[in-house]
Amino acid sequence: MLVKVTVNGEKHEAEVEPRLLLVHMIRETLRLTGTHIGCDTSHCGACTVLLDGRPVKSCTVFAVQAHGREITTVEGLEQDGKLHPLQEAFMAEHGLQCGYCTPGMLMTGVAFLQKNPKPTEEEIRWAISGNLCRCTGYVNIVKAIQHAAATIQGGA
Amino acid sequence: MAPKTSPEVGGMGHSVKRKEDPRFIRGKGTYVDDVVLPGMLYLDIVRSPFAHAKIKKIDASKATAIPGVLAVITGKDLEKYNLHWMPTLMSDTQMVLPVEKVMYQAQEVAAVLATSRYAAADGVAAVEVEYEPLPVVVDPKKALEPGAPVLRTDKKDKKDNHIWHWEWGNRAETDRAFSEAEVTVKQDIYIPRIHVASIETCGCVAHFDKVEDKLTVWMTTQAPHAIRTVFALVAGHVGLAEHKIRIISPDIGGGFGGKVPVYPGYVIAVAASVLTGKPVKWIEDRMENLQADSFARDYHITAELAAKKDGTLTALRIKTLADHGYTDAAANPSKFPAGLFHVCTGSYDLKAAHVEVDGAYTNKPPGGIAYRCSFRVTEAVHTIERMADLMAHQLGMDPAEFRMKNFVKPEQFPYRSALGWEYDSGNYAGALRKAMDMIGYADLRREQAEKRQRGELMGIGISSFTEIVGAGPSKHFDILGLKMFDSCEIRVHPTGKAIARFGTKSQGQGHETTYAQILAEELGIPAKDIKIEEGDTDTAPYGLGTYASRSTPVAGAAAAVASRKILDKARKIAAHLLEVAPEDLVYEPGKFSVKGAPNRAKTIQEIAFAAYTNHPQGMEAGLEAVSYYDPPNLTYPFGSYICVVDVDKGTGEVKVRRFVAVDDCGNIINPMIVQGQVHGGLTMGFAPALYEEISYDEIGNVQGGSFIDYLLPTAVETPRWETGHTVTPSPHHPLGAKGVGESATVGAPAAIANAVVDALWHLGVRHVDIPITPPKIWRLLREKGVTE
């Protein structure tokens, strides 16, 4: 089947099997390998991307379901050489270690901050509860999201 | 301690931002599944639904009829090359693919080679295997009973399921101490089977170049050099030679010990690439990862502790049954079948101790690897810390006061433990006092007393652990004969920038940052001007890899020693440039100056340039050094953790309200990274304390084989960790550092378990095995008549 998608602002089309998972199209057809795979059951969130601005676990979406829609992956967060405030915050707050869950965390975090620009710690913890991290113990990820919220509020 | 270098240089003690992060936050890391080669094939594995069964027939005809499926590989195919079995690190043997029978559920049965990931999976579904189920042995105790079915029928003379017996310490002295003891406590403690579950699973891309006869393997491995040698030794007879094997360990998405072993999937992928001459990718999925890769722990422990009435500890006696699954595929140093379990006297000055461990075969996956811990140290710490609490409660003493009384005292270091270890340095009371101050211990005890009056269940738990890391001195430590040194090779370029390569491999610990800081500390070259590389056996010096918190104690020490070799030469060059004798120079990081004339000086950058452009006659050009560091001793990080829990009487749920962790890992390289390691380690201590377990039903069906029921904590459950530290340098490490990656995983579970028992002690509860799940507590509360 022919799938036409816009990924990080660029138009792509690909002939795919109907059963192809979106994450495999992103990683293997489009060669955007920042989106990762960490489980088979939609628990870990390493494959989180934005589909029309909403975070989805791309291992649980068929590529054909993304037809005609806009996808943002971690590679699309940096705009004109300027990192997204959440990317800066993850570095500043040591919110990552092995980096494997990081792209999914970032995508969840970016979408969450758009919806809730002034979150409480509790709200942040619930927001990222669909993304597993084995390295950081989450404390610094929470701080990074708070840090980015403050930066965005400050209009930087 | 104030840092010696400026923030611009970024030596030890600076929270330098990580060099790894810019690629990771952009999604530009390169993990193994990101590697794609032209013409690459995909491998997927058929796995057994039975825990023990004869393989009567494998019919691949439907699979090979699927478009894209090229071949189905079975044990019989590998047998032709004598590759159907492989040795384990513990001198046992493990099937790559079975010829006769399978020994655990999810064991590899056959492999499908195809042109795409999806075709390979289709092929797996279409392979038809006929099994004849055999009696299953799940319980290691039953495995050792007379008449139990003998599992390892491949071993000609094997008549039972006993693997080995190992004991350590003075049995007679310990027995005497127990017979004379005024107070004793005894407890069965089960430390369940768990899995590291790094978010990246395991996998590889094997590429055999038939023209060059060269095998390159991109592989999720924590120990690439050792793997290269193992491949050369195991597959030498099929034409692989070590100079034509290149292992590349790319970015690794978490290791924690799970990426030390060689799994059958790697070997099948290599064999498939050698046979086809095409690159072959094998990436396991999460269920394969949890169900078939090496597990951790699974120790059935019976521990006894003896003391005087005044609370002075006198002796420790431990018997343990280790369930290894169908083969002993632990990743311990060769001489230590139970790892460093004999560090089980912990932080206490015990005069007598004896420990024995027996290994047993069962119909479960092989393993016995670490779960973010030095070899079997969590098992040791959990035992002694639970027992210390049990004794304190038994004596009616406060657990903190009891620990203070029995700690090895600062003036006793270096301290020789009853089981023969020489602890390098420690101030155990200092760490506990600091933790008590941070959490407000006395107030919490008052609150607990008040709450108990009202019938509320609140507990306070302490764990004052001593770790043993940094394996290890070559006299005692080897893996398959390879001594457990590690290495650093430094090249300073003419413009004063440098590259350093190591025998270790980071899996998220931030080596690219911290190793650069060590060089910056020693050489005065800014950390940003130093490139760190690891993980490519064609370029990096030989080393045993990263696990057991050994990178800083061993490779970090190598970095310091290699730096000092560079400085020896730099001093001679500086003397030549300044026209003075080398001994007339004084050094501060980055600069040699003439004694008494500080303005006459040469920077390390000027010296580096001269090393290539104006070096003294008779001296070789260049500024390079290498160190293969053999540590004189292990290092002994320690700490005290205090945890406060509230137990819900209605549901049995345990809520960790506060958790204070005071760690001492000696001198600190990067405080930000140390704190991050402690946060992560605590979470991997919290997880098995409350959630994680892989268990089996009576016919060997795995429970906990996916993230549906193997519960990794999310941000919602995970406590807001409170951390602090004390600094007691290691006297034998060149930088005074000790290693920190695993301390918290080792120390945390006992603090949580102790807090839960502390909350329930007045009801008559003496022990709860981890994971402390709501149903477990709810049942206990019902038994004690608290909950209806």
- Ordered by where they begin, the domains of chain A are 2-76 (3.10.20.30), 85-153 (1.10.150.120)
Average per-residue pLDDT for chain B? 97
In tens, the pLDDT along B749-766 reads 999 999 999 999 999 999
| Residue A156: band (very low, low, confident or very high) from pLDDT cuts 50, 70, 90 | low
Enumerate residues 6+ apart whose C-beta is below 8 A from B680: A97, A134, A135, A136, A137, B744
Q: Which one from B202, B344, B373, B665 is the annotated catalytic residue?
A: B373
pTM of the full predicted structure? Answer: 0.98
Average pLDDT on B484-494 reads 98
Q: Does B643 qualify as catalytic in the annotation?
A: no
Q: Does B372 qualify as catalytic in the annotation?
A: yes
User: 3-class DSSP state for residue A27?
Assistant: helix
Cis peptide before B365 (omega within 30 of 0): no
Q: Tell me how many degrees the CA angle B702-B703-B706 measures, rounded to the nearest 5.
A: 95
Tell me if chain B has a CB within 8 Å of the CB of A67. no
Q: Does B401 qualify as catalytic in the annotation?
A: no
* Contacts with A131 from chain B: Cβ below 8 Å: 714-715
Query: Chain A 92-121, CB below 8 Å of chain B: which residues?
Result: 92, 94, 96-103, 106, 121
- Cβ within 8 Å, pair A94-B676: yes
- Give the chain A residue whose CA is nearest to the CA of B677: A136
Pairing of the two strands B295-307 and B214-219: unpaired
Query: Chain B 661-700, CB below 8 Å of chain A: which residues?
Result: 672-673, 675-676, 679-684
Query: Chain B 502-521, CB below 8 Å of chain A: which residues?
Result: 507-510
E strand or H helix that includes residue B695: strand B695-696
The whole-number pLDDT of residue B650 equals 95
Q: What are phi and psi of B753, to 5 degrees?
A: -60, -40
In chain A, alpha helices (H)? 22-24, 85-92, 102-115, 121-127, 139-153
Tell me if chain B has a CB within 8 Å of the CB of A34. yes
Q: Which of B5, B4, B16, B8 is nearest to B514 (CA)?
A: B16
Euclidean distance between CA atoms B215 and B702, whole angstroms: 36
Enumerate residues 6+ apart whose C-beta is below 8 A from B300: B140, B141, B188, B190, B320, B321, B322, B323
In tens, the pLDDT along B443-455 reads 999 999 999 999 9
- Cβ within 8 Å, pair A34-B509: no
Q: What are phi and psi of B710, to 5 degrees?
A: -100, 105
| Most B CBs within 10 Å, among A20, A32, A134, to test the B interface | A134
| Most A CBs within 10 Å, among B15, B17, B25, to test the A interface | B25
In tens, the pLDDT along B212-230 reads 999 999 999 999 999 999 9
Q: Tell me how many degrees the CA angle B626-B631-B633 measures, rounded to the nearest 5.
A: 170
Q: Residue B706: which of A41, A140, A141 has the nearest Cβ?
A: A41
In tens, the pLDDT along B44-102 reads 999 999 999 999 999 999 999 999 999 999 999 999 999 999 999 999 999 999 999 99
Euclidean distance between CA atoms A78 and A71, whole angstroms: 14
Enumerate residues 6+ apart whose C-beta is below 8 A from B663: B431, B637, B638, B639, B674, B678, B723, B724, B725, B726, B740, B743, B744
| Most A CBs within 10 Å, among B199, B672, B673, B712, to test the A interface | B199
Q: How many CA atoms lie within 13 A of B480 on its CB side?
A: 21
Q: Does B228 qualify as catalytic in the annotation?
A: no
Q: Which of A21, A60, A45 is nearest to A128 (CA)?
A: A45
User: 3-class DSSP state for residue A65?
Assistant: helix
Q: Residue A139: which of B31, B681, B720 has the nearest Cβ?
A: B720
Q: Does position B588 have pLDDT exceeding 90, yes or no? A: yes
Torsion of CA B709, B713, B715, B720, to 10 degrees: 160
* Contacts with B680 from chain A: Cβ below 8 Å: 97, 134-137
Min CA distance, A154 vs chain B (Å)? 22
* Contacts with B663 from chain A: Cβ below 8 Å: none
- Cβ within 8 Å, pair B199-A133: yes
- Give the chain A residue whose CA is nearest to the CA of B201: A38
- Cβ within 8 Å, pair A36-B721: no
Q: How many separate helices (H) and strands (E) can be counted in chain A?
A: 5, 5
Size of the A and B interface in Cβ pairs below 8 Å: 178
- Give the chain B residue whose CA is nearest to the CA of A43: B707
**Six token digits for residue B102:** 């399978």
- Cβ within 8 Å, pair B708-A75: no
Q: What are phi and psi of B671, to 5 degrees?
A: -55, -35
Euclidean distance between CA atoms B377 and B749, whole angstroms: 12
| Residue B237: band (very low, low, confident or very high) from pLDDT cuts 50, 70, 90 | confident
The whole-number pLDDT of residue B77 equals 97
Euclidean distance between CA atoms B379 and B191, whole angstroms: 7
Establish whether domains B21-28+486-629 and B295-471+633-783 are of one fold: yes
Task: Give one DSSP letter per residue of B739-761, joined into a string.
Answer: --TTHHHHHHHHHHHHHHHHHHG
Euclidean distance between CA atoms B637 and B426, whole angstroms: 8
In tens, the pLDDT along B292-337 reads 999 999 999 999 999 999 999 999 999 999 999 999 999 999 999 9
Average pLDDT on B587-616 reads 97
- Least confident among B368-372, B403-407, B433-437, B482-486: B368-372
Q: Tell me how many degrees the CA angle B159-B163-B169 measures, rounded to the nearest 5.
A: 130
Enumerate residues 6+ apart whose C-beta is below 8 A from B782: B788
Residue B228, judged by CB atoms within 10 A of its CB (0-12, 13-18, 19+), counts as buried
- Cβ within 8 Å, pair B683-A124: no
Q: Of how many residues is chain B composed?
A: 788
Torsion of CA B19, B20, B21, B24, to 10 degrees: 160
- Cβ within 8 Å, pair B25-A134: no
Tell me if chain B has a CB within 8 Å of the CB of A130. yes
Q: Which one from B246, B297, B372, B403 is the annotated catalytic residue?
A: B372
| Most B CBs within 10 Å, among A57, A138, A143, to test the B interface | A138
The CATH number of B21-28+486-629 is: 3.30.365.10
The CATH number of B32-134+202-283 is: 3.90.1170.50
Tell me if chain A has a CB within 8 Å of the CB of B639. no
The whole-number pLDDT of residue B213 equals 94
- Cβ within 8 Å, pair B197-A75: no
Torsion of CA A33, B546, B86, B540, to 10 degrees: 80
The answer, yes or no, to whether ipTM is higher than 0.95 is yes
Question: HEC profile for B295-337?
Answer: EEEEEEEEEEEEECCCCCEEEEEEEEEEECCCCECCCCCCCCC
Enumerate residues 6+ apart whose C-beta is below 8 A from A69: A5, A6, A51, A52
Domain B295-471+633-783 has CATH 1.20.1440.230: no
Pairing of the two strands B69-74 and B108-114: antiparallel
What are the angstrom distances between the C-alpha of A58 and each of A12, A27, A39, B488, B749?
A: 17, 10, 12, 41, 35
Euclidean distance between CA atoms B410 and B431, whole angstroms: 11
- Cβ within 8 Å, pair B199-A36: yes
Q: Does position B545 have pLDDT exceeding 60, yes or no? A: yes
**Six token digits for residue B325:** 């699954």
The whole-number pLDDT of residue A155 equals 74
Query: Chain B 200-229, CB below 8 Å of chain A: which residues?
Result: 200-201
Q: Residue B286: which of A39, A129, A133 has the nearest Cβ?
A: A39
- Cβ within 8 Å, pair B716-A44: no
User: Domain extents for chain B?
Assistant: 21-28+486-629, 32-134+202-283, 295-471+633-783
